[in-house]
Structures are given as structure tokens and as C-alpha cells.
Structure 1
Amino acid sequence: MPVTIITGFLGSGKTTLLNHILTDNKNLKVAVLVNEFGDIDIDSQLLVSVDQDMVQLSNGCICCTINDGLVEAVYNVLERADNIDYLVIETTGVADPLPILLTFLGTELRDLTRLDSVITLVDASAFAPDLFDSEAAFKQITYGDMILLNKTDLVAEATVEKLEAQIHSLKEGARIIRSQKAAVPLPLILDVGFNDPMAYDAMIPLESAGDPQSHSPGHHHDHDHSHDHSHHHQSDPDHHHSHDHHSHHLENDGFVSVSYRSDRPFALRQFEQFLETLPSDIFRAKGLLWFNESPNKHIFQLSGKRCTLDVEPWNSAVPGNQIVFIGRHLDTDDLHQRLAACQAEPVRG
């Protein structure tokens, strides 16, 4: 089963690309694994036409909770009665792709799946070489087989050319595709065979801080594949030891998430005032919002200083507010109090 991993920094357009794949897949039966960095699963509620073929991975960054959750989810997809043609994994915006790659290249999954490519989305309107001083953002480009330079319509041509040169300086020979709203022909990104497992041999010793037991694609397990997978697909101690060295990027980057739920609607003006005074350390926010002034659902997206509100009916969903913020040094209590102050006064009598 071919596997494509979609990675990219906060707000780069990963869910938009995933929706494009699901909408335009030419009857390809695609299974989707979605990982959220936060305890409210917003992305899966924004995906189209996935129904039972979507698996939500546990709260937290996928590369830091890599072994049990991810491998078990992939086995669940493989064991479905109806055959799946393709598996697409959407990581969090703060994920380090390398541990995810190694899960497919260095465990039993290498015999059951084929890692086709790692697609890294880059927001052309927000990208800079330091990109918020994020270790994860740098690694996403380093380990990407293909760079989707997205949102090119929001910047000048000269800026796009400069960004491409900067990406090439970070990754020599990078394959770069320009896109708007992550819309690219699927033959350019699916079943392309760009991933080269041997390319990681030189990288992995650096990631494992010189650990001689580093878990490389050439490292083989001695598991009996005839046994029930429930007791043999766990990674061995070597993998855990190696992973310890490169799973600290969240601590290094300092990213945290703050989630908020409410079953009372917001007052639109109060929420607008809240947005006007958002802390500068919030890099990404997304949510499903209910306003007292409207019967509709509002899909809220914030990336850097750019904010959008798309409107659609609630349909069968129960109205309510669900919102997640991702940033550095966030004050959870303060954000909760300020959001609570946005709630509309209840109608009396």
C-alpha cells in the first residue's frame, strides 16, 4: 500500500491539500490518518467525504507518540475488509517528519507499505529562513521529497523566486511545485515514487546524536510475521533510544496548544475585539464558531496575522464553540477568561 505523508508548518495548507486529494481522487479509495496538536479534533471535522475511512490519532504531536498509535492505526487500515488503495497521513504543523519516516522504513511496516513521498507545504506569504526559529519547520523542509510552495497568489513573483532560492539553500535539489489553495494535479503528488530510503542513512546518525544503535532503514527486526501483530509490531529498544534524541523539538521550539469549548454562542463584536488584542505568540488558531447573530457555523482559521471566517450550515451538528490556539508561552487561564467574556448574554424570560 503506497503511503504519502503531508507535513508543513502551522497554517501552510495541509488540510486544504488533503481535501483536494479526497475530492479529486478519481475513485481511488483513500484512507486518511489525521493528527492534531491539541485536544479538540478540528481538522477531521473540516475534511470532506472520508466517512469511515479516516482514523484520528491521539492528542499530541505524532512524531512524539510515534510507535503504538501510528503503527496500530496503519495496521487497522491494512486489515480492513475493503481494500484501501492509498494511505495519506496529515501530521501536525509542529511535527518532525523523521521519526514518522523511520516508522515506515524501519519496522515491519516496510514489508506491508511503500513510502511514496513526503510532501512539505510551505506558506509563501509567511515563510522566512528562520520561520519562528522552529526546529520542526527546518526538518520538514530537509526531509521533504517534494516542496509545495503554497499561497503564491498572496505574494509578488519576485518574492516567490526569492523563497525558492531560500528553500534550495536549505535543501539542495529540492523539488518545488507552486500552488494556490494547495490545488495541484494529483499525478504530480501521488504515486510518484520520490522517497529514497537509502537517502536517510547519512542523516540518521546525526539525528541520533552519535548513538551506534541508531535505528536506520537498514536495521531489521527479528519478528515472526506469522504471529498476531498485536504483540510483534512494537518497535524495539533501539528505536525508542534513537527516538529520544530527536523527539525534543517541541520542547526546543516551545510550542503549546490551548483549547476552548463552549455550548453558548459568542457575541460577534466581543470576539472581534478579542482578535484585535491576540498575543503575538499565537502563530495558528482554528475552530468551529457559533455566533449569537447568525444561525450558521463559522469555520475560523488564523495563520500569523491573517484570519478567515467561512460560513456553512450546522446541518445535524449541535451548535457550539470549539477553538484551538497554537503558539509559544501562552497563558491558558487568560485566554479562557477572555473567550468566556466573548459569550453572548443569555436571553431572559
Structure 2
Amino acid sequence: MITSDRIVKQEITPDIIDVDVPKRGMPVTIITGFLGSGKTTLLNHILQNQQDLKVAVLVNEFGDINIDSQLLVSVDENMMELSNGCICCTINDGLVDAVYSVLEKGDRIDYMIVETTGVADPLPIALTFLGTELQHLTRLDSILTVVDSEAFTSDHFNSDAAYAQIMYGDIIILNKTDLVPEEKLQELETYINTNKTKARILRSHLGVVPLQLILDIEIDQSAIAATKESSQEADHHEHGDHAHHDHDHDHVHEHIHDANCQHDHHDHDHHHSNHLENDGFISISFQSDRAFDLDKFQNFLDKQLPIDVFRAKGILCFANIDSRYVFQLSGKRYELKTDDRGKSLNNQLVIIGRNLHREELLSKLTDCLV
């Protein structure tokens, strides 16, 4: 049994809700939130407990290895069917193209959920649904912002993206409420309400919230829509009139394409959006068909992992242990949970943080292999 003083045990009690989704353009929910806040946990809760809905899930990653989609389902292609009949699609070539690839499948799709990367500004993603031809095919229902109640502070790691996630969130979900006292939760709610007028706040443990409170709620998106004009005007002055996109995509799509395409890590510095430049986050990916030595890996986590690592996640295997494990690290907490899906035993790990020395980290990880 793998143990750590910082391992978090998770138990989910299903809360199955029958959600009646009217057909007024495919409703779209955007799930956003800072690194390690619990976006994938919330998404899994929705997928496990929705009833009679076929959902298309678009998963965005900041890094070379798509770990999140593997945590949702075993993914071998950019798109495949989930066990409950839903579809999971990896955003590789731009958000609009990913949406079209789902719509063109011809299958019945009732709902679409977009899970953003933890360092994404949700505004350009929302504007893609409001300002491109997608506005005639979809209906942006709401932006859900997941907040790590334990890790969140007023400066939230000095991140422009984290601030934007709060400001543009229609519903703020305070997650991991079991890890903090009531006083901290009240402080968070006061901070959010001070910075965002009439914020709608829900509390959550393990991403469990009543689905009728977050799906098909038809939040008024007029404020975001109004922001579209100023955003496009700023782009016009910054880029001039030379930009051109297929299908009449506007400058909002250009912003989205840059922010959401996956690139080789050598290209990240050239293609990430402005908020990544401001926030300074980088992603380091590690893969090996050799197993980790468990003691060496735990020593790496406890004594060698840089303080500027905000998030890490992966699928790991260890020497002399038949199972493979889902690894999650958020802040100072980490967990290893058995993954019994019977896939090949190899290591895939993504580390996200600031001021990280890529070669030094990769060397330390290599030293943990047997």
C-alpha cells in the first residue's frame, strides 16, 4: 500500500439527477479553475451522475501529454466514446475545429462541456462560442469556476489567469471544503463577493454539487457578449487588418487557437497566449517505459521537488508492483490511487510551475527509475 502524510483519500457518493435539456442550440458549459482546483473531479461527477444525456467533453491540456483525458477514459485517439455513451475529444487543432469534429459525427449530442487548462483565461473560450459561427449552433450556458479552498489566497499565486477565472465565472464552486475551517470559507466568500458583485457561490467536496444547479441554467451572458466588442477592438489596434481565418473566424478565434493548440514543449514559448507570458508558467513532460523505484520517487516528492511546482499529474508504475497508479499533486498535497484498467505499465508525468529548470528536473526523475 502506498502511503504519504499528504495523500488524500477520496470517496464519491453518487447523486443522480435527471436533467431536462431543452433544444435551443446545444448548451455549452465551460469548466475552468486554477491548477489543481478539481476541474476533472467535477467533470467526472457530472459524467457519472447525468442521466439520459449524451455529453461531448472537450479536454484542453497545457503540456505534451494529455493526462486529463486518460483520467476520464482510456483514450487512444483524439476522440472516442466513453462507457456511458458520451464522447471525449482532445483539443489539438483549435477549439472551433474540435467543436465541428463533434457536431459532424452525426450522433445525438445533448450537451457539451469544455474543461480548460488550469492556466487558461476563460474569456476567449467563451467569446469563441459567442462571437464565431458557433453562436448559431451552440448556446453558452455558463462558466463554472472551481476554486481550491485550501490553496486559494487573495493574490492566487499572482496569476492573471486565476483572477480572470474568478471574474468571468458565472458560478464559483468552492471545492475541497473538507480541508479548511469554516472561517477560511467565509473569508474566501467575502473576497470573491468584494471583487465580483453578486457572485453565485456553491460549496463542494470532491466536486459534488447538485447538477440542476450547474447544468442548463441559462446564465445571462450579456456581460461577456459586451466584452466581445472591446476585445475585438483591442485586437484590431494591436494586429491591424491583416488577420484572416477560415470560415470567417474573427480575432477571438485567433486568440483561442493560440491558447488551446497543443505544441511540442520547445514551441510553448512562441505560441502561448498573453496570460501565460504574464503568469510565467511552463509545463515539463516526462515519459519512460522503465518503472520508478517507489522510495526514490517519494524522496523526490518530499525533498527534491521545487517549491515553484504548483501542479503535477500522471499515470505511474513502480518496480515490483503490478498495478499502475494515477498521480495527482496540488500545492503541497499529493495522492496515488490504483488504476485498475489494465493498460501497459509505463510512466507519463506532467509538471507545471514557474521558474523550473527543465533538464535538472528531468535528470532527477530519471534517477528515480530502476
Q: What is the identity, as a one-letter code, of the residue corresponding to 1:300?
A: F
Deviations 1:210-231 (A, max 9, x none): 56779xxxxxxxxxxxxxxxx8
Query: Which of 123, 135, 145 is residue 170 of structure 2 equivalent to?
Result: 145
Distance across 1 between alignment mates of 2:205 and 2:354:
28
Change in CA separation of 1:26 and 1:331 when aligned onto 2, cut-off 3 Å: same
Distance across 2 between alignment mates of 1:112 and 1:89:
15
1:235 to 2:255 alignment: no
Alignment of 1:162-177 (within 5 A): 162-177=187-202
**Aligned residue number for residue 54 of structure 1:** 88
**Aligned residue number for residue 105 of structure 2:** 80
Q: What is the identity, as a one-letter code, of the residue corresponding to 2:310?
A: F
Query: Which of 296, 302, 305 is residue 329 of structure 2 equivalent to?
Result: 302
Distance across 1 between alignment mates of 2:127 and 2:254:
11
CA-CA distance at 1:262 after TM superposition: 0.5
Quote the sequence identity (%).
57
Distance across 2 between alignment mates of 1:176 and 1:89:
20
1:15 to 2:29 alignment: no
Q: CA RMSD in A?
A: 2.5
Distance across 1 between alignment mates of 2:215 and 2:291:
41
> Which aligned runs of 4 or more in structure 1 are off by greater than 3 angstroms?
201-214, 236-244
Deviations 1:326-345 (A, max 9, x none): 0011111011100110012x
Q: Is the 8 A contact 1:99 1:243 kept in 2?
A: no
Q: Is the 8 A contact 2:124 2:256 kept in 1?
A: no
**Aligned residue number for residue 332 of structure 1:** 358
Change in CA separation of 1:340 and 1:91 when aligned onto 2, cut-off 3 Å: same
Change in CA separation of 1:242 and 1:284 when aligned onto 2, cut-off 3 Å: closer
* TM-score, L = length of structure 2: 0.81
**Aligned residue number for residue 339 of structure 2:** 312
Distance across 2 between alignment mates of 1:208 and 1:279:
39
CA-CA distance at 1:203 after TM superposition: 3.7
* TM-score, L = length of structure 1: 0.85
Query: Which of 205, 222, 229 is residue 180 of structure 1 equivalent to?
Result: 205
1:71 to 2:105 alignment: no
Deviations 1:14-58 (A, max 9, x none): 000111111101121001000110000100110157257111112
Higher RCO (CA-CA < 8 Å; seq separation 6+) = 2
Distance across 1 between alignment mates of 2:251 and 2:139:
24
Structure 1 runs not aligned, ≥5 long:
59-67, 215-230, 345-349
CA-CA distance at 1:267 after TM superposition: 0.4
Distance across 2 between alignment mates of 1:38 and 1:243:
15
Change in CA separation of 1:83 and 1:275 when aligned onto 2, cut-off 3 Å: same
Distance across 1 between alignment mates of 2:72 and 2:254:
32
Structure 2 runs not aligned, ≥5 long:
1-25, 74-80, 239-244, 259-271
CA-CA distance at 1:237 after TM superposition: 5.2
Q: Is the 8 A contact 1:268 1:293 kept in 2?
A: no
